[in-house]
Amino acid sequence: MGLSGFAGLGGIAFVLAAIAINVAYVRARLPLPTSGLDLDAVTDAFAAVGDALKRPSVLAPATWLFTTVFAAGLLAELWRGGSGPGAWALVGFGGVLMQNVTFTCVEALRFGLASAARRDRGSVAGLWGLSNVLFGFNQVFLAIALLGFTVAGAGVGLIPGWHAVLGYVSAALLFLSSSASPHNADGAHRGAVLGLVGWLGWAAWIVACSITLLRL
């Protein structure tokens, strides 16, 4: 199996792992950014989370591996040098790398919040605000990844029209949600629906791309 095949498997594995992690967080009643919970409720939840935070986070490094392999395989298929439409895949690859770096910080901040909630409740407010805004700003990197790969994929004929529309619409929703991040520092949920729909579109876009890569 070549890189394109591994990229296809990586994309599908990423979506499945991301869904599993989020389901685990919801089941553990872990406060998520833009949840709308007040600070006391957030602090109490993080103080009580215990090992329920550690178990799903074990999968987090795998998701970053999967997305990197997916993006690298897609880049290899779309760009063969030069400055034609396929070069936009470089923008998409950069977006994926930045998303991985940023979300690593978001994931680590959850452990900081849990520790602060147990030992120094007064510091939770600052960490919670940082986590919320960073989580929101992270969506712009998903938008950049979608924009770059969609322009490249449509330009070289790798993805059909409906797939390109899905990419552009999802990128726009994620960008709008990211722009609302400064208003969500206290855990409000302004633009949360836009971000959720955009992320679901991003996940569907990856699955469709992965199937295409597996067929190459």
Structure tokens of 124?
């939770």
Query: Per residue in 63-113, pLDDT tens?
Result: 999 999 999 999 999 998 888 889 999 999 999 999 999 999 999 999 999
Give which of 69, 91, 72, 205 is closest to 151, Cα–Cα. Answer: 91
Query: Per residue in 15-38, pLDDT tens?
Result: 999 999 888 888 878 888 777 778
Query: Per residue in 142-173, pLDDT tens?
Result: 999 999 999 999 999 999 999 999 999 999 99
Rounded to 10°, the helix 88-119/39-48 angle is 80
Entry pTM: 0.92
User: Can you give the residue ranges of every domain in the chain?
Assistant: 3-215
pLDDT value of residue 169 = 97
Q: How far apart are CA 131 and CA 107, in angstroms?
A: 9
